[in-house]
Chain A
């Protein structure tokens, strides 16, 4: 199984809603990532979890709250989002995270397309 599964595939939410994005992998990877991708742009890193601990937070607003309940699962809790937060949210995993210098092959999910109204 070399898949990273993300749910839901599409999400429409209002600015006062609370919703969660989910990501799951069963490859035994100990590093998991959230990326945000706007149309026609490269993915931008949001968070990195390494061994279920938050290693990197790229100055993401607190309306995005990540959670890593175990080594296979990664959630992104959303609250009071703005229309400019509409984007494709990608989850990825790798065997480990060392901050570079090793072959950190990322496996990506197909993303959640989020629209904030």
Chain B
């Protein structure tokens, strides 16, 4: 079955770059997503990448995909205190009959 794993916690200083990592097992994953969840709130889609791409940049966010190693990362440049949240990676499968599979989430703490 499908499995998506993330490290649980990351702490960085304000202004530094943050890199959040994700590994997945399903080789038929088509789209991979990063969602952000602030305390007491729903999930907000930050960015996504199609599996035939290896990089996507969107302002402060850079997504890197290593399809061979099934490894996805999210880099946040110039991390701000407002970036403190839980970040979930998620994947969807080609031709499957299921909705998104979410990783366990990485709590990002930004120290002033």
Contacts and interface: CB of A to CB of B under 8 A. Distances in A.
Contacts, number: 76
Interface in A84-105: 90, 92, 97, 99-105
Interface of B: 30-31, 33, 35, 40-45, 48, 50, 88, 92-100, 102-105
B99 A97 contact: yes
B43 A90 contact: yes
A83 interface: no
A114 interface: no
B41 A110 contact: yes
Interface of A: 4, 6, 33, 40-43, 45, 48, 56, 90, 92, 97, 99-111, 113
Nearest to B103: A42
B94 A101 contact: yes
A98 to B, nearest CB: 9
Given A33-B99, A42-B88, A99-B97, A104 B31 contact: yes
B63 to A, nearest CB: 14
Contacts of A48: 99
Contacts of B93: 100-101
Given A42-B104, A110-B42, A111-B40, 15 more contacts: A6-B42, A45-B100, A48-B99, A56-B98, A56-B99, A100-B92, A100-B97, A101-B92, A101-B96, A103-B48, A103-B50, A105-B48, A106-B35, A107-B45, A108-B44
A4 B42 contact: yes
18 contacts: A4-B42, A6-B42, A41-B104, A45-B98, A90-B43, A92-B43, A97-B99, A99-B99, A100-B93, A100-B96, A101-B30, A102-B30, A103-B48, A106-B35, A106-B100, A108-B44, A110-B41, A111-B41
